[in-house]
Amino acid sequence: MKFKSISMTALILFGSIFGQSESLEIDDAESSTSLQGAFGAVTIDGKIWNQIALRPTLPFGKLSVAFDMVLYIDQDGNIHDDDWDFSSGEKVKNTIIDKIYYIRYGNRWDKNYFKIGALDNVTMGYGILLNRYTNTLLYPQVRKVGMEFKTRAFGVNIHGFTNDFKENMGLAGLRISAPVDYGITAGVSWVGDRNQYLGLRDRDGDGRPDLVDDFPNNNDWWVDTDGDGLADNDTLNEFDVDGDGWTDSSFTFPLFGIVIDPDGVETKPEPINIKEESESFNAFSIDLGMPVVRGGPVSVDAYSQYAAFLGNTTDPISGKSESAGYGVIPLGLSARFGPAKFNFEFRMVPKGNFEFGYFDRSYEVERATFQSISGNQGTIVTKDQKLGTYGKQNGYYSSLSIGLGSLVDAVMAFQNLNGEQYDFDSNSFQDASNQSFTAILRLKKGISKINKASWFYQQRNVPNPFDFKYSESTIMGYNVGLKLGNGMVLTYVFRRTFQDMNGDGDVLDNGEMINMTSVETSFSF
């Protein structure tokens, strides 16, 4: 499908339209009917696409519905068909789902609340399993429409989520909590990934991940043995599948005198089909919490948590499968002093093979990756397989969030665990630190021409996060919005993530750093 080419100079570079982190999300608290739009350009899979978007918002009391009607057009006038594909029942479903910006009822603090769309900051309980999870990390290359809900009935609080309806409950979680005696509140949580392989990108939806699919944009074909651009199963055009110069017998009629391949046809093996093969992972946690101090500007709560993984991991030395572990927080304190909130936890991993906050902001990147790719075959490494690199550990976690007047919000969190860590160089476990650091700065209201601004950085489970040696858990970026007048806002966005593509244990090789830089001009009327 073609249109007249749209000049790049006529459009301002476009970044994240919606569904980014909480600091990047457009205002979805709209209480009246509105129509928002944007134009510019966005980079998808390393290619620049011109973009035009309309986002109508329709309120119905506490219920609000917002849509995202977006077209991506390249410099030749070609439309990005993945966003408007009605070729099959599943494609129709996914196309319709992707047009939902959000469907929301109420607010997070209400008795009853749900949201369908971008999930920006989902935490269950005190965060021992699910901590600040987002399904928008890879947007716009990967669009996910999930759901989060909270309700209270018969004295019981229920909290649930799923990451993407297109994955049919791929990643999901449920928490139930209720008060018990002596002011204590007890909670039970479950989080499970039905198929970690769904974290592998599959643009055409044929079940074959892009990295091992010879035709990643065509859901009918996926193997091209001789690399001539013709699929092995393209019987109308491909007569020499293995490219040895002999006509293949399966496509010939001997009575016509056509020479048949005397050596037989040797084809590439079939790549993995993630719709038929799966690798699940589940976890559960229990927690207890009670107030210690109440009243006035100071409040203090004490809590404890236990979490266990219901699956297996891989011993990095022997390569054998072994049970995943469990973690304990025997004591945690949460204190609020006016505009400041402080948390402190003592953390223990008695037998190793465990990670606190396993389902976090970088989970969609770490969920599953290909390593050692050869042709259309490769070794898949899921996040749970890397748990074996963590041995017995003890330490602490602390966080501080503070509002600096009405102007700035700041969040910092730091984990320091000490114990056994697998060392790739020596192929053995060594005494080492396991540290994590997260920082977020956000402008709460506009200043002069600055409409919004935020900066964020995350580095998890490394010896020293302040060495700034990047890993798959590293996320960084910033966001600045400038008022242009007449209701128009220019937004500059930068986001950087990492993925170990070749399985060498680092993210320093070509193509393993993933940058998204963009500018958006948005308007509303």
Give the pLDDT confidence of 37-47 residue by residue, as tens digits: 777 777 776 67
**Averaged pLDDT, 15-30:** 35
445 has a pLDDT exceeding 90:
no
**Averaged pLDDT, 418-422:** 94
- Could you tell me the pLDDT band of residue 15, with boundaries at 50, 70 and 90? very low
| Nearest CA-CA partner of 19 in 38, 45, 46, 47 | 38
254 has a pLDDT exceeding 70:
no
Bridge partners (DSSP) listed for residue 303:
289, 332
**Averaged pLDDT, 256-271:** 75
Q: Residue 200 CB: number of other CB atoms within 10 A?
A: 21
Give the pLDDT confidence of 178-199 residue by residue, as tens digits: 999 888 999 999 999 999 999 9
143 has a pLDDT exceeding 80:
yes
- Could you tell me the pLDDT band of residue 259, with boundaries at 50, 70 and 90? low
Query: What is the rounded CA–CA span in Å between residue 359 and residue 123?
Result: 9
Name the most confidently modeled range: 15-19, 226-230, 307-311.
307-311
What are the phi and psi torsion angles at 82 (to 5°)?
-60, -25
Whether residue 482 is contained in a domain is answered as: yes
Query: What is the rounded CA–CA span in Å between residue 41 and residue 517?
Result: 10
Query: What is the rounded CA–CA span in Å between residue 242 and residue 251?
Result: 13
| Nearest CA-CA partner of 364 in 494, 502, 197 | 197
Whether residue 217 is contained in a domain is answered as: no
Are the C-beta atoms of 507 and 25 separated by less than 8 Å? no
3-state secondary structure of 480: strand
For 275, counting Cβ atoms within 10 Å of its Cβ (0-12 exposed, 13-18 middle, 19+ buried), the class is middle
Give the pLDDT confidence of 499-519 residue by residue, as tens digits: 777 667 678 888 788 887 777
More confident of the two residues 230 and 13: 230
Percent of the chain with pLDDT over 70: 90
What is the residue-averaged pLDDT of the chain? Answer: 84
Residues 6+ apart with CB under 8 A from 87: 219
**Residue 91 confidence (pLDDT):** 74
Whether residue 208 is contained in a domain is answered as: no
Query: What is the rounded CA–CA span in Å between residue 314 and residue 354?
Result: 12
| Nearest CA-CA partner of 41 in 68, 18, 14, 17 | 14
Query: What is the rounded CA–CA span in Å between residue 119 and residue 112?
Result: 17
Bridge partners (DSSP) listed for residue 187:
177, 287
Residues 6+ apart with CB under 8 A from 141: 44, 45, 201
Residues recorded for the chain: 525
Query: What is the rounded CA–CA span in Å between residue 520 and residue 14?
Result: 4
**Residue 26 confidence (pLDDT):** 36
As given in the structure block, the two tokens for residue 220 are 């009918």
Whether residue 440 is contained in a domain is answered as: yes
**Residue 17 confidence (pLDDT):** 29
Whether residue 251 is contained in a domain is answered as: no
- Could you tell me the pLDDT band of residue 444, with boundaries at 50, 70 and 90? confident
Query: What is the rounded CA–CA span in Å between residue 154 and residue 184?
Result: 17
Query: What is the rounded CA–CA span in Å between residue 308 and residue 466?
Result: 30
The phi-psi region of residue 175 (left if phi > 0; otherwise alpha if psi is between -120 and 50; otherwise beta) is: beta
The DSSP bridge pattern shows strands 450-462 and 47-60 to be: unpaired
Whether residue 223 is contained in a domain is answered as: no
Task: Tell me the torsion sign for CA atoms 307, 311, 316, 317.
Answer: positive
**Residue 113 confidence (pLDDT):** 95
**Residue 395 confidence (pLDDT):** 97
Long-range contacts of 405-409 (CB under 8 A, 24+ apart): 405/339, 406/444, 406/445, 407/443, 407/444, 407/445, 407/447, 408/441, 408/442, 408/443, 408/444, 409/440, 409/441, 409/442, 409/444
**Averaged pLDDT, 156-176:** 95
Print the domain residue range for 380. 8-195+279-524
Q: What is the CATH number of the domain that holds 389?
A: 2.40.160
Count structural domains, the chain: 1
- Could you tell me the pLDDT band of residue 19, with boundaries at 50, 70 and 90? very low
**Residue at token pair 């044929």:** 206
- Could you tell me the pLDDT band of residue 163, with boundaries at 50, 70 and 90? very high
**Averaged pLDDT, 259-277:** 84
**Residue 25 confidence (pLDDT):** 38
Query: What is the rounded CA–CA span in Å between residue 318 and residue 428?
Result: 10
Amino acid letter, residue 488: M
**Residue 277 confidence (pLDDT):** 92
Q: Residue 228 CB: number of other CB atoms within 10 A?
A: 12
- Could you tell me the pLDDT band of residue 289, with boundaries at 50, 70 and 90? very high
Whether residue 237 is contained in a domain is answered as: no
Are the C-beta atoms of 73 and 3 separated by less than 8 Å? yes
CA diameter of the chain: 96
263 has a pLDDT exceeding 80:
no
Give the pLDDT confidence of 87-122 residue by residue, as tens digits: 777 778 778 888 888 899 988 888 899 999 989 889
Taking the alpha carbons at both ends of the chain, their separation in whole angstroms is 30
DSSP per-residue string spanning 369-405: EEEEEETTEEEEEEGGGGGGGEEEEEEEEEEEEEEET
Q: Residue 363 CB: number of other CB atoms within 10 A?
A: 24
| Nearest CA-CA partner of 475 in 12, 14, 23 | 23
Whether residue 407 is contained in a domain is answered as: yes
- Could you tell me the pLDDT band of residue 30, with boundaries at 50, 70 and 90? very low
- Could you tell me the pLDDT band of residue 8, with boundaries at 50, 70 and 90? very low
Query: H helices then E strands: how many in the chain?
Result: 2, 25
Long-range contacts of 151-159 (CB under 8 A, 24+ apart): 151/111, 151/112, 151/113, 152/111, 152/112, 155/179, 157/187, 159/124
Give the pLDDT confidence of 327-350 residue by residue, as tens digits: 999 999 999 988 899 999 999 999
What are the phi and psi torsion angles at 353 (to 5°)?
60, 40
4 has a pLDDT exceeding 50:
no
**Residue 428 confidence (pLDDT):** 93
